[in-house]
Amino acid sequence: MKWRVATVVESRAETATARTLVLDVPDWPGHLGGQHVDLRLTADDGYSVQRSYSLASPDRVEIAVQRVDDGEVSPYLTDVFAVGDAIELRGPVGGWFVWRPAATEPVLLVAGGSGIVPLMAMIRARRAAGSKVPFRLIYSVRTPEEIFYADELRRPDPGVDVSYVFSRKAPEGARRPVKRIGLADVTTHGWPPDFQPSCFVCGPTGFVETVADLLVAVGHDPSRVKTERFG
């Protein structure tokens, strides 16, 4: 697959440390919720680095970049990269961690931090397709300030249930104690295994391991638990 030149057409803060970027890519072929793109940055001396970013929207090339302070790429993308700037892009890629609008089984989405991005693409793809398939999203974040797509998730589409797991600080009045995701979260807010849902889990490696193990332990078929880990 060829590298193409993409141009930033929109840039907005998603949280204090994350930015949403919308890119214009000529002749974009379209994509499925869950697919991603590779971005490549090349320095004047020829040194180049690549990173993968999940697409956040079903109909445009939108990504979200979480700033990693000592990162090689993300501080550039969040702090320097602006509307009108160009970057090399390859995609869409990945055909396994995807939700297809023709699917009929219930869906459980479990996000850890910026792992929400490809899962948000699936929620938006469901809306775009007019699908009535029931979705449940369990979204684990450290603090309420770190929620991506907060306004959109506050008013979820009919048939999409959203619940939060706060691991460091909860909003006032929250009943769930502040702690990492556990068995009770998955059994209370997920689907019973008998419903044979498709499960998509995305987040940091440790988070994904924990959640995938919990889902299989309560009886979900391992072949229905799809995971995407980032380092």
Partner 1 sequence: MYQDGNALAGPLTEIFAVDMTSAESVCAGCGRAGAVASLRVYWHAGDAVVRCPGCEQVVFRLVRLENRLCLEVTGLRRLTFS
Is residue 88 within the footprint of partner 1 (CB under 8 A)?
no
Identify the residue among 94, 106, 112, 197 touching partner 1 (CB under 8 A): 94
Task: Output the six-digit token pair for 146.
Answer: 């770190």
Identify the residue among 68, 83, 93, 217 touching partner 1 (CB under 8 A): 93
Is residue 1 within the footprint of partner 1 (CB under 8 A)?
yes
Amino acid (one-letter) located at 125: A
Please, which residue, 196 or 205, has the CB nearer to partner 1? 205
| Whole-number Cα distances in Å, 69 to 72, 95, 168, 203 | 9, 31, 20, 18
Site string for partner 1, 168-207 (x = CB under 8 A): -------------------------------------xx-
Residues in the chain: 231
Q: How many CB atoms lie within 10 A of CB 38?
A: 16
Identify the residue among 26, 29, 95, 158 touching partner 1 (CB under 8 A): 95
Candidate ranges 55-63, 91-99, 172-180, 184-192; the one touching partner 1 (CB under 8 A): 91-99
The 3-class SS string of 87-145 reads EEEEEEECCCCCECCCCCCCEEEEEEHHHHHHHHHHHHHHHHHCCCCCEEEEEEECCHH
Q: Segment 45-84, which members bind partner 1 (CB under 8 A)?
A: 50, 52
Residue ranges that bind partner 1, judged by CB under 8 A: 1, 36-38, 50, 52, 90-91, 93-97, 205-206, 226-231
